[in-house]
Structure 1
Amino acid sequence: MRKGTTHLALDLEGSQAGFYNVKFYGFQDTFLINRGGSGYFKNCYIEGSVDFIWGYGTGYFQGSTIVSNSRGYVTAHNRDSASSTGGFYFNSCVIKATVPSGTLASTYDPSIAFTSVSKAINTCYLGRP
C-alpha cells in the first residue's frame, strides 16, 4: 500500500456489526459504512487524514479515539436524501488532530477555503458540508 493513497481498511455492508478494541489506520476514505450497514465501535482507535470515516449507513462510536493526522475532515456522510436514515454518532469519544499546523478544512466548493494557519493549528473538523 502506498502512503497517501485511498485504501479501505473497512467496508461494512452488514447490519448490527460490533467492533471492540480494534485499531484502524489509513489515509483517505479508510473506514466505509455502506448503504444498509450499521456498526457499533467501542474503545476503538481510528486514524486517517481526509474523510476517513465515510459512507451512507449508521455508525455509533462509544469511548473511541478518532485522530486526524493530516489536512481534512474526519467524516463525510452521504445520505441519499434528507429523509434517509443513517449518520455517525460519537459518544464519550476523544477526537483530536496530530498535525502541528496547516490548513485542515476543505469543501467540495473551491470558492470556500480555510487558509488561516492560526485557526488550523491543532484543529480538526468533524464533517464536510
Structure 2
Amino acid sequence: MRILMALAWATAAASAAAQPVWVGDTIPTPLTAQPGDPARGRAIVASRQQGLCLLCHAAPIAEERFQGNLAPSLAGAGSRWSAAQLRARIVDARRLNPQTTMPPFHAGDGLQRVATAWKSRPALDAQQVEDVVAYLAGLRE
C-alpha cells in the first residue's frame, strides 16, 4: 500500500511540475532544465511527421518545398517574439486566441476529434518544445 501511495504521489508531483506557469501572454520559465537545441528544433519544424509547422507556416528552410501561407512566416520569429512568448504559443496558442487554428503542441486537455492514441497526450514533449523555442528565437531578420 505504501508503494502505491508513493507512486501516486510521485506521479502527481511530476504532473504538477510539468504544468507550465503562464504570466500574461508568456511562459517565462523553460519547461526543462536542459537548454533547447536549435538544430533539433529546426528538424521538428521541418518534419512532416512531427511538428507539421510547415503545413501552415513558411520558414527559412529552403530544402523544404510546399510551405504554408495560412499563418505568419516563421522567418524573423525571434525578432518579433521573446522566447517566453514563443514558448506560450507552442504550448497552447488557444490561451492567447481561443479561435486559433494552431494546435496546442504541449497540452492534451480540451482536444476534440483526436485519435485514441493521442488523447490527453501532448504532440511535443517538454524538451521538444524547448528545442523549437531555441530554433525560432534564433531566427532574426
Output the TM-score relative to the length of structure 2: 0.22
Q: Which is richer in helix?
A: 2
Q: Larger C-alpha radius of gyration, 1 or 2?
A: 2
Pick the structure with more strand per residue.
1
